[in-house]
């Protein structure tokens, strides 16, 4: 039996190359709740042999090492990155009134807005709807006809909050750092 010193220590890059996709999936599922059988099923192993597969998989050195690498890397496990966060905040911070109206608009206009600008919903905090009956001139009719018109009112998330969050993530609020070091002077004498 090999001692700890004799066991090869893999780098994360080496482990990523060594593990199969199923093994990687198993590891990522395992660190969610430390349930090996569930992780094996989620990774695509047989329902009938999940418990045995989990036990066998968890005894492999490269599996244990990979789990050690990933278990506390929440960004990787959740698919979150600083870039992804900023991109989402960007949608809110830079959404324009041109894209969304902050007043009542007809439902058909709202549907066109969503179709032409799919990211528009990311900037929306809430949507209210109402229906009004009103008379309208309809082509081919001599008199105005009573019709029901559906309206939508959209409330946006706060642009200033989104911009503030972006600025904090980028470190724009960090105080300027000034160096107050005193450099050592040599060869200088002071007369009293």
- Convert the pLDDT of each residue in 151-169 to its tens digit: 777 777 788 888 888 888 8
For residues 5 and 131, what is the distance between their CA atoms, to the nearest angstrom? 74
Say if 166 falls within a structural domain: yes
pLDDT higher than 80, residue 63: yes
Count of domains forming the chain: 2
The rounded mean pLDDT for the chain is 79
Are both 51 and 117 inside the same structural domain? no
Report pTM.
0.47
Say if 35 falls within a structural domain: yes
Q: Band the pLDDT of 61: cuts 50, 70, 90.
A: very high
Say if 73 falls within a structural domain: yes
Give the residue numbers spanning the domain of 103.
82-170
Are both 74 and 107 inside the same structural domain? no
Are both 88 and 73 inside the same structural domain? no
* Residue 13 in tokens: 């890059």
> What is the structure's pLDDT at 20?
95
Are both 67 and 52 inside the same structural domain? yes
Say if 178 falls within a structural domain: no
> What is the structure's pLDDT at 55?
96
* Proportion of the chain above pLDDT 90, given as a percent: 28
Say if 152 falls within a structural domain: yes
């Amino acid at each position: 039996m090999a001692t700890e010193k004799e066991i090869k220590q893999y780098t994360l890059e080496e482990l990523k190359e060594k593990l199969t996709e199923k093994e990687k999936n198993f590891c990522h599922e395992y660190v969610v709740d430390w349930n090996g059988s569930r992780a094996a099923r989620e990774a695509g192993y047989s329902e009938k042999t999940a418990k045995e597969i989990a036990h066998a998989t968890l005894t492999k050195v490269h599996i244990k090492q990979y789990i050690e690498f990933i278990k506390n890397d929440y960004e990787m496990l959740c698919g979150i990155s600083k870039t992804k966060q900023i991109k989402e905040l960007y949608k809110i911070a830079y959404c324009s009134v041109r894209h969304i109206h902050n007043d009542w608009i007809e439902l058909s206009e709202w549907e066109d807005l969503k179709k032409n600008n799919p990211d528009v919903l990311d900037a929306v905090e809430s949507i209210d709807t109402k229906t009004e009956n009103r008379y309208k001139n309809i082509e081919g009719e001599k008199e105005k006809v009573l019709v029901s018109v559906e309206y939508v009112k959209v409330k946006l998330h706060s642009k200033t909050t989104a911009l503030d969050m972006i600025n904090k993530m980028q470190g724009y609020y960090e105080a300027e750092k000034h160096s107050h070091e005193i450099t050592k002077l040599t060869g200088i004498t002071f007369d009293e």
